[in-house]
Amino acid sequence: MKPRDLALALAVVVVWGINFVVIEVGLEGVPPLLLSALRFFFAAVPAIFVLGKPRVPWRYVVGVGLALGVAKFGLLFIAMNHGVPAGLASLVLQSQVIFTVLFAIAVLRERPRPAQLAGIVIACLGIALIVLDQQLSAPLGALALVIVAAGFWGVSNTITRYAKPPDTLRFMVWVSAVAVVPLLLLSLLTEGPRADADALRDIRWSGVGAIAYLAFAATLFGFGVWGYLLRQYDASTVAPFSLLVPVVGMSAAWVLRGEAVGPQQGIAAVLVIGGMACTIVRRRTRRTAAESGELVDSAA
C-alpha cells in the first residue's frame, strides 16, 4: 500500500474508533433515534444532489437503509443511551463478523473456511466473557441490543454482497437518505414530539459538533475513503485495518471518557479481535471491491 493510502486507511480507523465517544457526547443532549436521524439527514443532504443516483437496484438501497441505518444504528444508539459505554460498544459490535459469516453460509451458500469457523468460536468466547463479567457496568439488556445491532449489520452486509455497489460513497449516501424518515417517525412515536422539540431547541454546541462529526467525518469521509481503498487494493489488504477500530474505540473511551478496561474485558477484547482476524485474513487473491461488499461497513 502506498504511504498516502496507508495514511488514509489509518485516518479512517481513527475517525471510526473515536466515533463511539462522539456518539456518547451527542446522546448527552439528543434522544438516540433523533440523533441517528440527524446524522443521516446531514450525511445525505445535499450529497444526494451532487452524487446522483446510487447505480444499484433500489431494493438493495432500501434493504440496507432499513437494516443498517434504522436497525443497526438505531439499536446501537439506544443501547449506548441506556448505559453501554463507548469502548465496550465498539468491541461488542464487532460480533457482526459472526453474523456476517453465518448469513453468508445460509443465504449466499458460501462454504466456510476452517479459519472462519475457528474465528466464530473464538469471538463467541470473547462475547461470553463480556456477558459473564461480574464487574460489567453496562445493563445486560442494553448489551443485548448491541448484539442484535451487530446481527442487523450482518444482514446489511449480506444485502450489500448482492448489490455489489460500484461506488461505496454514493451507495452509503442513498442508504443514509432512506434511513432518515423511518428514524424520525420512530423517534416521534417512542421518544415523543416534545422531547425531540426540546432537544432541538436546547441543543448545545457539543451536540452540533457530534452530529457534524457523525455525518461528515464518520459517514462521508469514512465510507468515501474506505470505498476508494477497496477499489485500489484487494480486500485482503484493506480488511485487516478494521481490526484496529475497536482498539482505537476502547483507547479513546479510556483517554477521553475515563472508561476503565478490567482484566476479563481485556482478555475478551483479545478474543473478539482475534476471532475477527481469523474470519477476514486469507491468502491473497485478486478480488474486486464489489465482491467485497461485506467489508463496506466497519464503523458505528
Give dist(CA 127, CA 242) in Å, integer: 18
φ, ψ for residue 134 (rounded to 5)? -70, -20
Q: In this structure, is residue 83 part of a structural domain? A: yes
Q: In this structure, is residue 137 part of a structural domain? A: yes
Give dist(CA 297, CA 83) in Å, integer: 24
Q: In this structure, is residue 213 part of a structural domain? A: yes
Residues 32 and 74: beta-carbon distance below 8 Å: yes
Domain that holds residue 262: 3-295
Q: In this structure, is residue 300 part of a structural domain? A: no
The three cell numbers of residue 19 are: 466515533
Give dist(CA 210, CA 86) in Å, integer: 14
Taking only the tens place, the pLDDT of each residue in 221-266 is 988 898 888 778 876 677 778 888 888 998 999 999 888 778 888 8
| Buried residues in 85-109 as b, exposed as e (16+ CB within 10 A) | bbbbbbbbbbbbbbbbbbbbeeeee
pTM for this structure?
0.88
Of 275, 19, 297, 258, the closest CA to residue 160 belongs to: 297
Domain count for the chain, please give it.
1
Q: In this structure, is residue 164 part of a structural domain? A: yes
Q: How confident is the prediction along the chain (300 residues), in pLDDT tens digits per residue?
A: 888 989 999 999 999 999 999 999 999 999 999 999 999 999 998 788 888 888 899 999 999 999 999 999 999 999 999 999 999 999 889 888 888 888 888 887 878 788 888 888 998 898 888 888 766 777 889 999 999 999 999 898 888 888 888 888 899 999 999 999 999 999 999 999 999 999 999 999 999 999 999 999 999 998 889 888 877 887 667 777 888 888 899 899 999 988 877 888 888 889 888 888 887 766 444 444 444 444 455 556
Is 268 exposed, middle or buried, given 0-12, 13-18 or 19+ CB atoms closer than 10 A? buried
Q: Torsion-angle region of residue 164: left (phi > 0), alpha (psi -120 to 50) or beta?
A: left
Q: In this structure, is residue 250 part of a structural domain? A: yes
Of 253, 258, 247, 265, the closest CA to residue 131 belongs to: 265
Q: In this structure, is residue 20 part of a structural domain? A: yes
